[in-house]
A and B are shown apart, each in its own frame.
Chain A
Amino acid sequence: MSNNSWDQITAITSMNVRNMSQRAASSIVALIGIAGVVTVLIGVLSIAEGFKAVLEISGSDQVAIVLRNGATDEMGSGLQQEQTRLIADAKQAARDEQGPIVSPELYVVVDVPLKSTGTAANVPLRGVGPQAVKLRSNFKIVEGVNFTPGKFEVVVGKGASMQFSGLTVGSQLRLGTTNWTVTGIFEDRGSVAESEIWTDATVLQGAYNRGTSYQSMRVKLTSPSAMQAFKDELSTNPRLNVRVFSEKQYYAEQSKILVTLVSTIGSAIAILMGLGAIFAALNTMYSAVSSRTREIATLRALGFGPAPVITSVLAEALLIGLVGGVVGMVVSYVAFNGVRASTMNFATFSQLTFAFTVTPQLLVQGLVYALILGFIGGLLPSLRAAKLPITTGLREL
């Protein structure tokens, strides 16, 4: 493009933009529409991001989860005590002075009322082995103390404690036929464990009549590269019929359903709202073109071509989209980022607490969407402006 064409475009575009104050009301309506769409889009997708983030940080590729063959999650799995011993004997299991770093675990779902609604929701109650903490390197008791093995005591994940009522240190919890005492609150860098209640696996077996059976076994491996050898060893052992996942892979699989669901719903809502915003933008830009009909015709009469006219109208629409997008980005970040919530994890049918996570990528996605809405809203009016017969335009008042 020659300097001259550029001068034409910038002159007419800046003129058009300076004219916007005359159309402030309709421009603001379109801007709010676009900002609203971007806020909702980013807000909904930040749920998926938050959920994904929880499940992603939950998994280590040095920890293996062993389930019964055919099971895809802990709920559908079952392991006998004998099997857990055989698994712990695997050469690839990391060891310390207390032996292999493993945790045979039991997983039941209990009803606890949500703080927000007072209605009962499913919370995972996990029975863990004495070494469980060593398998979660970020595990930390932040309030109270850990449960005492052999007692009806529990510790509660920080997320669960915030979302559900009656999960504070010292409170009594009636689960099944037993009263449990909450002795502590723990953190695990926001991982899925923070949505759970933990107790001693052997106590839980007794309370829920599970005999000596477990549902899953976590095994810390000597290194991430030992995973395949570990899988091979277990699968070739005729006394075991088990399935091995890396913890990372296990949580990635679990997050798929919800992330896909939320992303699809979020995008569908954004598209529907986007249609509304496009109409607002179209309306604004048609009225912008119509209020400038004589100006545009004058420019065309002077010899300006259709390109600067189209560009100037599109630039105005894109500016509305840009400002609307930025407003939406700021609002969604301030309103949603870090807000904690819980939702059903369809893989385990229990509640998972997470924080809405507004990532830079989501912000960019929101802005791009806003610009697309602005572009579509400006395209037809700009073409109309360019096609308007000069003699008709000059007669407009």
Chain B
Amino acid sequence: MADESLVRLRGVAKDYKRGAETVHVLHALDLDIPRGDFLALMGPSGSGKSTLLNLIGGIDRPTSGSIEIAGTRTDSMTDGDLGKWRAHHVGFVFQMYNLLPVLTAERNVELPLLLTKLPAAERRKRANAALGLVGLSERAHHKPRELSGGQEQRVGIARAIVSDPTLLLCDEPTGDLDRKSGDEILDLLQALNQQQGKTIIMVTHDPHAAARAKHVLHLNKGQLSREAAA
């Protein structure tokens, strides 16, 4: 099992300074996530779920321990290398979508491709293909404020998958949506996992959302506990 791991964390701890006090958010975590998994991370607020997701996604660094993604140690990379690594290997889906308001859906989706060497025409083609995959081809030229919450999140997912990343990291992707839109997003994530073989790690508070994952991990006070496969 460990040999097939796409994500491998060993002894990962994360501390924060809050004034003179040191807050231990994560305690010496070991974690293996196989390629093709759809993992839900659950836990109460402040349990360290988002911190763990940020560490795996390379937008934060552990206080100690090692993080290896697809055989590459990311915890020891320079900031510049880590930025390039994220561009190629990680797709982020945010709770508040984090689309850029002045750009159309198409241009929002195209953004990660600006970090590749693809020519403009190819970038547009791929952005439209990604929008097609999330069922939003006809909204390509709309700006975020002209879309519903569910549609915005679908644009967010298209942006996350457009560069065909190794990992899809979703932080409360349905947290800001009604049940119906949330279900559509979860359908989409499940399809990406099952049909495209995408490895997905999703942080959620919602047991209904977590139930769509293949595995669920609970974080409590910085410690992990595994739940039976869904």
Contacts and interface: CB of A to CB of B under 8 A. Distances in A.
Interface string A360-397: 00000000000000000000000000000111001001
Most chain B CB inside 10 Å of its own CB: which residue of A4, A295, A303, A389 = A303
Interface stretch (A11-19, A188-196, A338-346): A11-19
B94 A11 contact: no
B29 interface: no
B60 A304 contact: no
B17 to A, nearest CB: 13
A28 interface: no
Given A304-B114, A394-B59, 10 more contacts: A8-B114, A8-B115, A11-B107, A15-B100, A295-B100, A302-B87, A303-B83, A303-B88, A305-B80, A391-B60
B77 interface: no
A300 B54 CA distance: 13
A5 B117 CA distance: 9
5 tightest A-B contacts by CB? A303-B87, A298-B98, A390-B59, A18-B102, A303-B86
A397 B102 CA distance: 17
A302 B102 contact: no
Contact of A302 (B54, B80, B86, B96): B86
A19 B100 CA distance: 10
Interface string B59-100: 110000000000000000000100111111000101010101
21 contacts: A4-B114, A4-B115, A7-B114, A7-B120, A8-B114, A8-B115, A11-B111, A19-B102, A298-B98, A300-B59, A301-B57, A301-B92, A302-B87, A303-B85, A304-B114, A304-B115, A305-B80, A305-B83, A389-B60, A390-B59, A397-B96
A389 B83 CA distance: 13
A294 interface: yes
Contacts of A7: 114, 120
B115 A294 contact: no
A2 B115 CA distance: 11
Interface in A293-332: 294-295, 298-305
A4 B117 contact: yes
Most chain A CB inside 10 Å of its own CB: which residue of B102, B114, B115 = B114
Contacts of B133: none
Contacts of A304: 83, 114-115
B86 A301 contact: yes
B100 A298 contact: yes
A299 B57 contact: no
B166 to A, nearest CB: 13
Nearest to B91: A302
Nearest to A7: B114
Nearest to A389: B60
Contacts of A302: 86-87, 92, 111-112, 115, 159
Contact of A394 (B80, B98, B103): B98
A329 B79 CA distance: 43
Contacts of A390: 54, 59-60
Range, interface on chain A: 20 to 34
A394 B86 CA distance: 16
B148 interface: no
B57 A303 contact: no
Contacts of B84: 303
A204 to B, nearest CB: 75
A4 B102 contact: no
Contact of A294 (B87, B98, B116): B98
A11 B57 CA distance: 24
Contacts of A2: 117
Most chain B CB inside 10 Å of its own CB: which residue of A11, A18, A300, A302 = A302
Contacts of A394: 59, 94, 98
Contacts of B114: 4, 7-8, 11, 304
A2 B114 CA distance: 12
Nearest to B84: A303
Most chain A CB inside 10 Å of its own CB: which residue of B60, B100, B112 = B100
Interface string A183-219: 0000000000000000000000000000000000000
Contacts of A389: 60
A304 B59 CA distance: 12
Interface string B36-67: 00000000000000000010010110000000
Contact of B111 (A299, A305, A391): A299
Contacts of A8: 114-115
A303 B100 CA distance: 15
Given A19-B102, A295-B100, A301 B59 contact: yes
